[in-house]
Amino acid sequence: MPGPPVWENAMDDRSELKDIKKSYGKKEVLRGVSMPLEKGRAIALAGPNGSGKSTLLRLLAGVIPSGGGEFWWQGKDLLRDRALARRAVAYVPQGTPLIDELTAWDNLRLWYDRDALERSLQEGMLRQLGVGDFLKTAAGKLSGGMRKRLSIGCAMSGQPEILLLDEPTAALDLVCKQALLDAFALFRQQGGLILMATHDLLELGSCDRVYLLSKGALSLYDYDGDSRRLAQVLETA
Amino acid sequence: MKGGNYLYAQGKRALRVLPQMLILSLLLLAVGMLLGQMLTQRSKEEPSKKKTQVGVVADRSIGFVAEIFDGLENFDASRFALDFIFLDEEEALRRLRAKELSAYVVVPDDFVDSVYAGQVDPVRYVTLSGASGTTAQLLTEVANAVSRVFLEAESALVGARDYVTEALPEADADASDFALADRYTALTLSRDKFYRVEILGYAASLSTEGYYFCGIGTLFLMLWAISTSPLFSRRSKELCRVLSARGLGPGKQVVCEFLPFLVLMLVGLGVIMAASGVFFRLYGAEPPSLEPLRSPRAWPVLLGQVLMLCAMEFFLYEVESSPVEGILLQFLCAVAQGYICGCVYPYSFFPKGVRILGSLLPAGLAIRSFTGLLSGEGGTWVFAALYALGFLALSVLLRRRRSSR
């Protein structure tokens, strides 16, 4: 259920996306996207292919430059304060950002220092993700679910407050999906915000709010679990 | 995100690729050396096949004609030993059709008189192979040289004869004509003069073996990148995006990936050079003298060339890193550059435009530096370093463009 709009709160806690724009040449991909953000929430971005979901996530992650707008989190504009953004925001793309020849341990060591890694494996998010079971296996030899868990584990290295996920459970079996959703729930309990682009009904059902992104414009969608209605909306979007 | 972590990870990747790269490279090297050994052996056993046979239809009784062709036969800066065979035109035509001759040159019997009379009765050059192909180009060049030598010689002789006729009316004009011709060819057409007039060699003071050592070495350095394709074909574009998001931009990414690649190539190069030394010793073959390469002054030049070629290969993998297309791109670039720049044939065989292009390309720069070092003329690392920086800058631009899509 949508919470109260955050932008009505005091400026110090201001957390929202405001008028985010992006164009590739003359093609407008995002046309003034705005939405409130709140700690502990999970927000889903649904929309037809090519609607700009991945572009929005990449833009918020700092992979691509924005064409204007603001990304406020706890009173700071993360599109301008890139140093803070690198610490506060974690991005997990649809593919797996791993080095296939190296073991899971080596991939994690790319992002974590040794102490933090061992701590997280014992009691942190990596334990929740079950990454410790395949530390010595080369990333290229892991199953799809393991690779996704490892990717998310790598992204969590800086103890981020915002997790940007691009179709996180696509092509995974139900057990893997549920394990990941449990990990996301834990992250939210700790005050994290999740913003995910998805088509998956299970993921949509796990989110507090669902937004539809169509032709670069964002609108709130009241998802009630009716997949047929959602499919019709997406088809006409 | 620390660049050191990424550099360390890339170093580990490179180490994993090293064994398979070395095995592949040593196999290639062994095949190449066996081939070289076979070719050397064959050419030793069949000395006549070493030479390109060119027929000469001319009156050999005219002294300077024979001397001119002797001079041309020594015209070996092209690294091809030419063999001129005097014979009549009927026999020349028969041998040409039987492909025993590559071409023949006809110097008309009244050539001297026609020139003296102010007419042009040209030297004819007859071949089957047309204007294309390196051998045909070489032979065309030889025909041009023959024409020039004859015409220049005749210009000098006619002038001298006129002088003799005017200054010494009592002298026997015909006798002095032949004497002048003999003396002219003996004095003027020395080999040194010949080399200066027609520059065919890439590095004139370098032996054929030395030249091909440099050429094949350059080609090998370019083709060798194929063995490192696993390092590039398995790169994750998503990882590049995430690295950018975490503060490790395309510039730092490229540096962190290039350094281990460069070290990998240098280590491999060392192993291969050692293996080559063992091979030369085992087979009792004589390698070209590499003494000049031991000078500390040669090292920056050598390192500069390796750096440049590695940067070029890195850039090509940045353009296309998929296993098939990436390897194909490396192969085509290596072979095309190798051909134009003189790794396969001395580039002096090519037209001037191609020669200029070849000398500007990375492979041309590398082979010129290698031959310069071996022949003692020296080389430069500055242009190679500039090239390397250019390739790396282009790689960064490509990476940035790709990540931002």
Residues B216, B340, single domain; the answer is yes
Residue B17: list chain A partners with CB under 8 A: 101
Residues B21, B60, single domain; the answer is no
Mutation site, A24, A101, A165, interface B, largest B CB count within 10 A: A101
Residues B39, B54, single domain; the answer is no
Q: What is the per-residue pLDDT for B127?
A: 74
Percent of chain A whose predicted confidence (pLDDT) is above 70: 95
**Contacts with B26 (C-beta within 8 Å, 6 or more apart), sequence order:** B271, B272, B275
From B137, B168, B197, give the residue that closes a domain. B197
CATH number at residue A217: 3.40.50.300
B244 close to A (CB below 8 A): yes
A126-159 tens-digit pLDDT: 888 888 889 999 999 998 889 989 999 999 888 8
B402 close to A (CB below 8 A): no
- Which amino acid, residue B9? A
Q: Is residue A223 in a domain?
A: yes
- Which amino acid, residue A41? R
Q: Is residue A126 in a domain?
A: no
Asked whether the predicted pLDDT for residue A5 surpasses 60, the reply is: no
- Which strands sit side by side in the sheet containing A16-24, from one edge to the other? A27-36, A16-24, A70-73, A76-77
Residues B387, B247, single domain; the answer is yes
Residues B33, B11, single domain; the answer is yes
Q: Is residue A62 in a domain?
A: yes
Look at chain A and report how many structural domains it folds into. Answer: 1
Residues B75, B150, single domain; the answer is yes
Q: Is residue A116 in a domain?
A: no
Q: What is the per-residue pLDDT for B57?
A: 85
* pLDDT tens per residue across all 405 residues of chain B: 678 889 999 999 888 888 888 887 778 777 767 766 665 565 555 554 456 677 888 877 766 677 667 666 665 444 455 677 888 888 888 888 787 787 788 887 777 667 666 666 677 777 764 444 455 666 666 667 666 766 677 677 777 777 777 777 776 766 666 676 666 665 555 433 333 333 333 444 566 667 777 888 888 888 888 888 878 877 788 898 899 888 888 999 999 999 999 998 888 888 877 777 777 677 665 556 667 777 778 888 888 999 999 999 999 999 887 778 888 999 999 989 988 888 877 766 778 888 888 888 999 899 888 888 877 777 788 899 999 999 999 999 999 888 776
Look at chain B and report how many structural domains it folds into. Answer: 2
Q: Closest chain B residue to A151 measured between Cα atoms?
A: B239
Which residue, among A61, A68, A83, has the nearest Cα to A195 in the 3D structure? A61
A111 close to B (CB below 8 A): yes
CB-closest option in B242, B403, B404 to A91:
B242
Question: Quick one: which H or E segment has residue B127?
Answer: strand B124-127
Which residue, among B402, B401, B400, has the nearest Cα to B249 in the 3D structure? B400
From B165, B197, B229, give the residue that closes a domain. B197
Residues B144, B10, single domain; the answer is no
* Contact yes or no for B244 and A63 at CB 8 A: yes
Residue A159: list chain B partners with CB under 8 A: none
Q: What is the per-residue pLDDT for B186?
A: 59
Q: Is residue A198 in a domain?
A: yes
Segments forming the whole domain that contains residue A158: 6-99+154-236
From B197, B227, B258, give the residue that closes a domain. B197
Q: What is the per-residue pLDDT for A66?
A: 87
Question: Quick one: which H or E segment has residue B103?
Answer: strand B103-106
* Contact yes or no for A109 and B247 at CB 8 A: no
Residues B156, B285, single domain; the answer is no
Residues B101, B237, single domain; the answer is no
Q: What is the per-residue pLDDT for A20?
A: 92
Residues B167, B23, single domain; the answer is no
* Contact yes or no for B234 and A100 at CB 8 A: yes
CA angle, residues B393, B238, A187, in degrees to nearest 5: 135
**Cβ atoms of A195 and A188 closer than 8 Å:** no
Question: What DSSP designation does A103 have?
Answer: B
Buried b (16+ CB within 10 A) or exposed e, B302-334: bebbbbbbbbbbbbbbbeebeeeebbebbeebb
Q: Closest chain B residue to A57 measured between Cα atoms?
A: B245
Q: Is residue A85 in a domain?
A: yes
Residues B295, B214, single domain; the answer is yes
- Which amino acid, residue B336? A
ipTM of the complex: 0.83
Q: Is residue A147 in a domain?
A: no
Segments forming the whole domain that contains residue B71: 48-197
B15 close to A (CB below 8 A): no
Residues B234, B383, single domain; the answer is yes
A62 close to B (CB below 8 A): yes
CB-closest option in A58, A97, A109 to B239:
A97
Q: What is the per-residue pLDDT for B395?
A: 95
Distance between CA atoms of B14 and B264, rounded to whole angstroms?
7
For residues B321 and A79, the model is more confident at A79
Give the predicted TM-score (pTM) of the model: 0.69
Residue B12: list chain A partners with CB under 8 A: 101-102, 106
